[in-house]
Amino acid sequence: MRLSRYLLPTLKETPAEAQIVSHRYMLRAGMIRQTSAGIYAWLPLGYRALRKIEQIVREEQDRFGVQELLMPTIQPAELWRESGRYDDYGKEMLRIRDRHDRDMLYGPTNEEMITDIFRTSVRSYKELPQLLYHIQWKFRDEIRPRFGVMRGREFLMKDAYSFDISAEAARQSYYRFFVCYLSTFARMGLKAVPVKADTGESELFIDKGLLELDMSRDAPAPDGDLEGFFKTITAQYAAADEMHDPAACPVPAERLVSRRGIEVGHIFYFGTKYSVPMGAMVTNRDGEQVPVEMGSYGIGVSRLVGAIIEASHDENGIIWPDSVAPFDVGLINLKSGDADCDAACEDILVKLANAGLECLYDDREERAGAKFADMDLIGLPWQLVVGPRGLKSGVVELKRRATGEREELPLDAALARMTRRGA
């Protein structure tokens, strides 16, 4: 992709409304544009990051045997009246009246609708468990939306639902999502720590051992001992500050660390809360009709874009983990318009594509300083710098964004370095 033709409206100044670093950097890096309070358009660079994250979420759901479907954004009020939540939900629910004066709403979540789909589709314990997910835009009409995509009104969420014949079977589904989630977040370069909590952000108190685990290595496969892993992990101390009692904490001070937590997902077991009022019954082994046991499992997909930036940045901008970077490498032409530099860059573009590396090529006629600053700001994992001096001696400069390490080396060696690290 050529930057001269790419819609990337980077900003030099920090927008006044942005209170947290991810919001500031997403605006400055031209990733998002606010279109109404708490509602954002995802510009090309931002949307690439969002889709990378979404795809990891999808792959891990699929790998753990969860089936993807897609429910609509607009729901009928009747379903929510059946569960009793239509009146309970309050002003965060965006209520809509259609042209025939029917009460509708923009779904903030989908327990009712998935229960309705289930009850009209599944009859017998033989078809259980059913694990279903979708990745869809949701709306919560927050009174004071803020922090950019971390707390927007329209947001992308992966929500999954489990249907089981018994509480014990439902617990197995719960373990399955528990492990799936730890694998998912590890693939994005995040340290995820499971805690019991009511709300999202808070200070966490954690046994150091939990932070030392590498979930991408330690988490079991979908057919492994999910329950055993769940018990091992949850035996270690982790508590949100509202639950943490220093006097009663079983972890010795030297092993206890505190960290700021950001909620990126949640898993719930809620039994028959929806299946009983909504009549979602299945036949059990004895031929009796019993209400199905349910759980729900959410991941804030658009919020993760912000969360990853909160966890990975420096004073110059974003530092994308390799797996979710919108492009693998930024190619900087130090002298756009110079025939040799242009030709060398065109050649490099072909070689990068052949190596399977996605490249954003800064071919603009800008001074070098501005190009470096923009490239640091948008935070691609690698920068490849091509200038007249290096070309004469047959080298390019390769910079690793995360460490700042720079090296002059022949192009082939640079390609080898990038593909090795990416693998």
Q: Is 136 exposed, middle or buried (0-12, 13-18, 19+ CB in 10 A)?
A: middle
Q: Kindly state whether residue 96 participates in binding a second copy, applying the rule CB under 8 A.
A: yes
- Nearer to a second copy by Cβ, of 58 and 401: the residue is 58
Q: Kindly state whether residue 130 participates in binding a second copy, applying the rule CB under 8 A.
A: yes
Q: Using N-to-C axis directions, what is the helix angle for 44-63 and 301-311, rounded to 10°? A: 110
Binding part of the chain for a second copy, among 136-144, 207-215, 265-273, 319-327 by CB under 8 A, reads 136-144
The string of DSSP codes covering 80-123 is HHHHTHHHHSGGGSEEEE-TT--EEEE-S--HHHHHHHHHTT--
Query: Rounded CA gap, 95 and 104, in Å?
Result: 6
**Tokens (6 digits) for 94:** 């965006």
Binding part of the chain for a second copy, among 125-133, 233-241, 271-279, 306-314 by CB under 8 A, reads 125-133
| Closest by CA position to 17, among listed 8, 9, 26 | 26
Residues 149-208 that bind a second copy (CB under 8 A): 153-154
Q: Kindly state whether residue 281 participates in binding a second copy, applying the rule CB under 8 A.
A: no
Q: Kindly state whether residue 43 participates in binding a second copy, applying the rule CB under 8 A.
A: yes
Q: Kindly state whether residue 139 participates in binding a second copy, applying the rule CB under 8 A.
A: yes
Q: How many residues bind a second copy, per CB under 8 A?
A: 56
Query: Rounded CA gap, 383 and 404, in Å?
Result: 10
* Phi (first) and psi of residue 155, to 5 degrees: -145, 155
Which amino acid, residue 345? C
Q: Kindly state whether residue 113 participates in binding a second copy, applying the rule CB under 8 A.
A: yes
Sign of CA dihedral 36, 308, 323, 205: negative
Distance spanning both ends of the chain, measured CA to CA: 22
Q: Kindly state whether residue 75 participates in binding a second copy, applying the rule CB under 8 A.
A: yes
**Tokens (6 digits) for 382:** 């690698």
Nearest distance, CB of residue 322 and a second copy, angstroms: 21
Nearest distance, CB of residue 152 and a second copy, angstroms: 9
CB atoms within 10 A of CB 172: 15
* Out of 14, 19, 35, 55, the residue judged to bind a second copy by CB under 8 A: 35
Q: Kindly state whether residue 91 participates in binding a second copy, applying the rule CB under 8 A.
A: yes
* Out of 12, 87, 99, 286, the residue judged to bind a second copy by CB under 8 A: 99
Binding part of the chain for a second copy, among 87-95, 317-325, 338-346, 414-422 by CB under 8 A, reads 87-95
**Tokens (6 digits) for 341:** 């530099």
- Per the DSSP assignment, residues forming a β-bridge with 238 are 206
Q: Kindly state whether residue 5 participates in binding a second copy, applying the rule CB under 8 A.
A: yes
Q: Kindly state whether residue 336 participates in binding a second copy, applying the rule CB under 8 A.
A: no
Please list, in sequence order, all residues whose beta carbon lies within 8 angstroms of the beta carbon of residue 75, skipping any fewer than 6 positions away. Answer: 104, 105, 106, 107, 110, 112, 113
Q: Kindly state whether residue 33 participates in binding a second copy, applying the rule CB under 8 A.
A: yes
Q: Kindly state whether residue 141 participates in binding a second copy, applying the rule CB under 8 A.
A: yes
- Nearer to a second copy by Cβ, of 46 and 298: the residue is 46
CB atoms within 10 A of CB 263: 17
Q: Kindly state whether residue 227 participates in binding a second copy, applying the rule CB under 8 A.
A: no
Query: Rounded CA gap, 413 and 289, in Å?
Result: 66
Nearest distance, CB of residue 237 and a second copy, angstroms: 37
Residues near a second copy, by CB under 8 A: 1, 4-7, 9, 30, 33, 35-36, 39-44, 46-47, 50, 65, 67-76, 91-92, 94, 96, 98-99, 102, 104, 106, 113, 116-117, 120-122, 126-127, 129-130, 132, 137, 139, 141, 143, 153-154
